[in-house]
Amino acid sequence: MKIPLIDLKKQYKTIEEESNRKVLEVLKSANYIMGEHVKTFEKEFADFIGVEHGISCGNGTDALVIALKAMNIGPGDEVITSAFTFFATAESISSVGATPVFVDVEKDTFNMDPLMIEEKITARTKAIMPVHIFGQACKMDEINRIAKKHDLLVIEDACQGVGGEYKGRKIGALGDIACFSFFPTKNLGCAGDGGMIVTDREDLAVITKGLRTHGSGETGRNAYNLMNNIDEENDESDSKDQTVYNPLKYYNYLIGHNSRLDELQAAILREKLPLLDQWNQERRSNAEFYNEELADTRFTTPFENRDVMHVYHMYILQSEEREEAILHLKEKGIATGVYYPIPLHLQKAYTDLGYKEGDLPISEYLSKRTFAIPVYAELEMEEKEYIVRCLKEFDNR
């Protein structure tokens, strides 16, 4: 049996007809940039998360960069984040000229350890960037308490957590601003790159909108005015049109980005969003099956904090013999993935920051033990049983 880590073809089959129809409609309309699907999806996604504003953009990394810039974080500033995450988390901080300051993670949830944050705070610290890794929310009450005490902003890296919850509230509604990725393999993925910034803060919504499209047009001007405390009456003759036909397009107010969600991607995402809760429930039930079946093996199964609704972007096992286990599964046709083989503080790109092995022992320990097995919503029972059988076979060698 061949089982990929994620089967996007299988997912596509379940929405093929309607997606094809929507995509063709967009193609025929020739309205490819900032059309109705983008506008409506922003609203639908913000409603889904339970926040006021959704500002779509080109990908999750851009979402983080734009959010950081909107918060005026730049050279000389520090942002505290997790060492056990995808590189883009820290890369976004470096991209705006600020310095990522890495904290270690909890051994059970793999999330940033709130107990390790305060000792990292300096006069230069501007924000905390928790990452809801693998789909499980961080301990946000503790993180927000620390942020409030030290007057810091909270930017959620929610790229792996879409649909997940913390104490009954959705991931993405738990800080000042949050960033999502719609990379195809995410729980809500498009057919290419896509991203979204969400926030309840009107000021951040205005500025991120301005930054998203070259700081130009009405959105650029609104952002500029807000950032410079200019109380200018809007000229009603100006178009609110966000498309290429906007007459203000060539008036630039800020140095921004070209980072928009394509209309085609928005159409596909609108098709998928109503299915997300059901897909996440299927991931959860797959995880439950594995947890039960593997309880008596030497594999360490994932821990779920009782305050959260984990959405299992990845189902992570731990083993002392990871490489051998992965090889065994590979021989049986089962794909796995290692998330993450090198914690960020030890990445070559961050040599200059001066971290050394032993500085963040839990992240380092996990990076040698963790691996993901397939948990996607469309997995069949016989595939899950086969995966468990192969893992038990390895365990009983």
User: 3-state class of 318 per DSSP?
Assistant: strand
* DSSP structure class, residue 245: T
- Cα–Cα distance, 213 to 61 (Å, whole number): 16
With beta carbons less than 8 A apart as the criterion, state whether 187 and 135 touch.
Answer: yes
Min separation Cβ 379 and ligand PLP, Å: 21
Can residue 196 be called a binding residue for ligand PLP (CB under 6 A)?
A: no
Can residue 259 be called a binding residue for ligand PLP (CB under 6 A)?
A: no
Identity of the residue, 153 or 188, whose beta carbon is nearer to ligand PLP in the bound complex: 188
Can residue 350 be called a binding residue for ligand PLP (CB under 6 A)?
A: no
Min separation Cβ 327 and ligand PLP, Å: 26
Min separation Cβ 159 and ligand PLP, Å: 4
Min separation Cβ 311 and ligand PLP, Å: 13
- Kindly tell me which residue out of 80, 131, 154, 173 binds ligand PLP, with binding defined by CB under 6 A: 131
Token pair listed for 299: 């594999």
Torsion of Cα atoms, 157 then 211 then 37 then 131, to 10°: 0
Identity of the residue, 64 or 325, whose beta carbon is nearer to ligand PLP in the bound complex: 64
Locate all alpha helices (DSSP H) within the chain, ordered by sequence: 8-29, 36-49, 60-70, 87-95, 140-149, 202-212, 217-227, 263-272, 276-293, 322-331, 361-367, 381-395
- Kindly tell me which residue out of 85, 109, 219, 242 binds ligand PLP, with binding defined by CB under 6 A: 85
Within 8 A by CB and 6+ apart from 151, the residues are none
The residue assigned the tokens 């299992």 is 312
Site string for ligand PLP, 34-63 (x = CB under 6 A): -------------------------xxx--
| Number of Cα atoms under 13 Å in the Cβ half of residue 299 | 29
Can residue 105 be called a binding residue for ligand PLP (CB under 6 A)?
A: no
Min separation Cβ 95 and ligand PLP, Å: 11
User: 3-state class of 177 per DSSP?
Assistant: strand
Identity of the residue, 35 or 58, whose beta carbon is nearer to ligand PLP in the bound complex: 58
By beta-carbon distance, which residue lies closest to ligand PLP?
60
Can residue 370 be called a binding residue for ligand PLP (CB under 6 A)?
A: no
Identity of the residue, 249 or 310, whose beta carbon is nearer to ligand PLP in the bound complex: 310
Can residue 89 be called a binding residue for ligand PLP (CB under 6 A)?
A: yes
With beta carbons less than 8 A apart as the criterion, state whether 164 and 135 touch.
Answer: yes
DSSP string over 45-113: HHHHHT-SEEEEES-HHHHHHHHHHHTT--TT-EEEEESSS-HHHHHHHHHTT-EEEEE-B-TTT-SB-
Can residue 110 be called a binding residue for ligand PLP (CB under 6 A)?
A: no
* DSSP structure class, residue 181: E
User: 3-state class of 126 per DSSP?
Assistant: strand
Identity of the residue, 88 or 117, whose beta carbon is nearer to ligand PLP in the bound complex: 88
Token pair listed for 64: 């983080």
Can residue 136 be called a binding residue for ligand PLP (CB under 6 A)?
A: no
Can residue 86 be called a binding residue for ligand PLP (CB under 6 A)?
A: yes
Min separation Cβ 117 and ligand PLP, Å: 18
Site string for ligand PLP, 145-164 (x = CB under 6 A): ------------x-xx----
* DSSP structure class, residue 230: -
With beta carbons less than 8 A apart as the criterion, state whether 309 and 283 touch.
Answer: no
Min separation Cβ 69 and ligand PLP, Å: 16
Identity of the residue, 117 or 155, whose beta carbon is nearer to ligand PLP in the bound complex: 155
Identity of the residue, 158 or 248, whose beta carbon is nearer to ligand PLP in the bound complex: 158
Min separation Cβ 183 and ligand PLP, Å: 4
Site string for ligand PLP, 294-313 (x = CB under 6 A): --------------------
CB-based burial, 185-217: b 16+ in 10 Å, e otherwise: ebbbbbbebbbbbbbbbeebbbbbbbbbbbbbb
Can residue 11 be called a binding residue for ligand PLP (CB under 6 A)?
A: no
**# residues contacting ligand PLP (CB under 6 A):** 15
Contact residues for ligand PLP (CB under 6 A)?
59-61, 85-86, 88-89, 131, 157, 159-160, 181, 183, 193, 195
